Amino acid sequence: MRRKDDIQKAEGKLGVLIPGIGGAVSTTFLAGVEAVRRGLALPIGSLTQMGTIRLGKRFEYRIPRIEDFVPLARLDDLIFGGWDVFADDCYEAALKAGVLKREDLDPVRSFLEALQPWPAVFKQLFVKNLSGSHVKPQTSHLELVEAIKADIASFKRKHAVSRCIMIWCASTEAYLKPGPVHASLSSFEEGLKHNDPTISPSMLYAYAALTSGIPYANGAPNCTVDIPAMVELASQRQVAIAGKDFKTGQTLIKTILGPGFKARMLGLTGWYSTNILGNRDGMVLEDEASFKTKEESKLSVLETMLQPDVYPKLYGGFHHKVVISYYPPRGDEKEGWDAIDIFGWLGYPMHIKVNFLCRDSILAAPLVLDLVLFMDLAQRAAMTGIQEWLSFYFKSPQCAPNLYPEHDLFIQLKKLKNTLRYLMGEEQITHLGLDYYYKV
Ligand SMILES: NC(=O)c1ccc[n+]([C@@H]2O[C@H](COP(=O)([O-])OP(=O)(O)OC[C@H]3O[C@@H](n4cnc5c(N)ncnc54)[C@H](O)[C@@H]3O)[C@@H](O)[C@H]2O)c1
């Protein structure tokens, strides 16, 4: 691991490679970055662009902006490329996604139009409710990996890119329980040779990225870099990996409220979460196998955060249900309802209703930006393998196999900021603060 001045400089262009570049999240991210670069909008929701970090003692008032404190790539140095199963350029795709208004897209139209997706590696078996024709003709796993690598190599050449990051913003793949082929790198590579049907397209992209020395972050809930084979590959090739499933919307609220209840030792008997959404993501999640992937990711949050085994009287046996309904009139403007049944002093019950009328991709886009910049920082700082300090961004944070994931948003934020302090040789902030009052 490199720290302070040993961190490799963020020089040259940073290539951002996006499977699913024509989707709602990707196009909202791309249009937003360009609008910010042109001074037309603010990067709201992005910690790297808007956030600050406290350093040293409170009376020192040292609170630099994060982007001034750590050596991040500049927005002007980002270059984009990616794959999609639809051939629409990113302007056309953004119009279809219907997240941003035409009046916000038009000022960045030429930039978006220039982003033409490369044909995708796609197998409908993994995304049943989607069919697109803009796919690679190769059929064998190894040929497909080579085709992805060839796309990356020509992108790097064309734009004189010095480093790349790959971030999966494509559809959620069907639920897959990791099996023997995913258990080690050698069995995975054997599986590649034999076109094992349990190797998904996202794994082919990730394999191509990692073997090219490119960090990979997974924005969807399907398993990709969280299988042992990929963890081994990342460690062997000294590349950063992170995942999974962007923490937006209902789960974001859950990881804000849940730690609050737990902090006050309030009990929970049930949490019923339902959503309606009408975008393509919602359509994909109509399929049972894709929904199961999402459900697993959403359900794990409360269980791990509230620790029923540690607090059986407060959290033993609570009911947790998550429902997602595809309802086209809403488009990307998802509505989430949470009915939360808690109890307090002497067991008296109370009820909380949360009705979040959110915009999914508006919440996700700044996370994509932060992940791109922090993954690049990690790679330049030789922080390879699983990037648990980026748990802040994920619904199902990937961590070492012997640990349970940390879901509490506030602990995640502390971990992230302490990691940045550590990287830059600054003191860790423990919030003890006794030395403000006593000689310790
Ligand atoms: N929007 C959010 O708040 C949010 C939060 C968490 C996770 N996610 C996840 O992020 C992903 C993107 O969400 P979205 O709303 O943009 O969905 P979307 O359906 O609008 O976009 C996904 C894009 O991926 C493309 N695609 C599918 N399979 C592909 C493949 N194999 N290769 C290349 N392209 C492929 C689709 O054609 C589509 O354009 C989904 O997996 C979603 O579950 C989104």
Residues 261 and 368 in one domain: no
Domain assignment of residue 230, yes or no: yes
Confidence category of residue 331, pLDDT binned at 50, 70, 90? confident
Confidence category of residue 293, pLDDT binned at 50, 70, 90? confident
Report how far apart, in Å, the C-alpha atoms of 318 and of each of 74, 101, 344 are.
Answer: 46, 42, 15
Residues 117 and 263 in one domain: no
Overall number of domains in the chain:
2
SS3 content of the chain, % helix, strand, coil (to 5): 45, 20, 35
* CATH classification at residue 237: 3.40.50.720
Confirm or reject: Cβ of 224 under 6 Å from ligand 1.
no
Report how far apart, in Å, the C-alpha atoms of 330 and of each of 97, 98, 324, 361 are.
Answer: 12, 10, 13, 13
Q: Give me ligand 1 centre to Cα 219, in Å.
A: 8
Residues 87 and 157 in one domain: yes
Report how far apart, in Å, the C-alpha atoms of 295 and of each of 8, 320, 431 are.
Answer: 39, 11, 36
Domain assignment of residue 144, yes or no: yes
Domain assignment of residue 26, yes or no: yes
Distance of CA 273 to the CA centre of its chain: 21
Q: Encode pLDDT of 392-415 as tens digits.
A: 999 999 999 999 999 999 999 999
Residue range 344-363: mean pLDDT, rounded: 96
Confidence category of residue 282, pLDDT binned at 50, 70, 90? confident
Give all strands of the β-sheet with 267-277 in edge-to-edge order. 319-326, 267-277, 335-343, 349-357
Residues 296 and 409 in one domain: no
Domain assignment of residue 430, yes or no: no
Which region among 224-233, 322-331, 340-349, 382-391 has the lowest average model confidence (pLDDT)? 322-331
Atom of ligand 1 nearest to the CA of 170: 24
* CATH classification at residue 258: 3.30.360.10
Q: Which of 337, 357, 377 is the last residue of a domain?
A: 357
Atom of ligand 1 nearest to the CA of 97: 20
Q: Give me ligand 1 centre to Cα 193, in Å.
A: 28
pLDDT of residue 12: 96
Which region among 79-83, 238-242, 254-258, 370-374 has the lowest average model confidence (pLDDT)? 254-258
Residues 185 and 90 in one domain: yes
Which region among 199-208, 219-228, 299-308, 359-368 has the lowest average model confidence (pLDDT)? 299-308
Confidence category of residue 132, pLDDT binned at 50, 70, 90? confident
Domain assignment of residue 12, yes or no: yes
Which residue's CA is the nearest one to ligand 1's atom 39?
Answer: 23
- pTM for this one? 0.96
The H or E element that residue 217 is part of is: strand 216-218
DSSP letters for 270-295 = EEEEEEEE-SHHHHHHTSHHHHHHHH
Residues 190 and 285 in one domain: no
Q: Give me ligand 1 centre to Cα 20, in Å.
A: 6
Q: Encode pLDDT of 29-77 as tens digits.
A: 999 999 999 999 999 999 999 999 999 999 999 999 999 999 999 999 9
Atom of ligand 1 nearest to the CA of 86: 37
Residue range 6-28: mean pLDDT, rounded: 97
Token pair recorded at residue 318: 């609570």
User: By the 8 A CB rule, do 162 and 12 touch?
Assistant: yes
To test the pocket of ligand 1, the residue of 85, 100, 166, 171 to mutate (highest count of ligand atoms within 8 Å of its CB) is 171
Confirm or reject: Cβ of 219 under 6 Å from ligand 1.
yes
Q: Encode pLDDT of 238-277 as tens digits.
A: 999 999 999 998 889 999 999 999 999 999 999 999 989 8
Confidence category of residue 131, pLDDT binned at 50, 70, 90? confident
Q: Could you tell me if residue 231 is left (phi over 0), alpha (psi between -120 and 50 degrees) or otherwise beta?
A: alpha
Q: Give me ligand 1 centre to Cα 82, in Å.
A: 13
Atom of ligand 1 nearest to the CA of 82: 33
Residues 12 and 100 in one domain: yes
Q: Which residues pair with 167 in a beta bridge?
A: 217
Residues 75 and 129 in one domain: yes
pLDDT of residue 284: 82
User: pLDDT: is 294 or 427 the higher one?
Assistant: 427
Domain assignment of residue 391, yes or no: yes
Q: Give me ligand 1 centre to Cα 36, in Å.
A: 23
Domain assignment of residue 432, yes or no: no
Domain assignment of residue 435, yes or no: no
Residue range 184-213: mean pLDDT, rounded: 97
Q: Encode pLDDT of 133-187 as tens digits.
A: 899 999 999 999 999 999 999 999 999 999 999 999 999 999 889 999 999 999 9
Q: Which of 334, 357, 380 is the last residue of a domain?
A: 357
Residues 239 and 97 in one domain: yes
pLDDT of residue 118: 98
Q: Which of 339, 357, 375 is the last residue of a domain?
A: 357
User: By the 8 A CB rule, do 308 and 334 touch?
Assistant: no
Supply the range of the domain harboring residue 301.
250-357
Residues 130 and 203 in one domain: yes
Residues 84 and 119 in one domain: yes
Residues 56 and 118 in one domain: yes
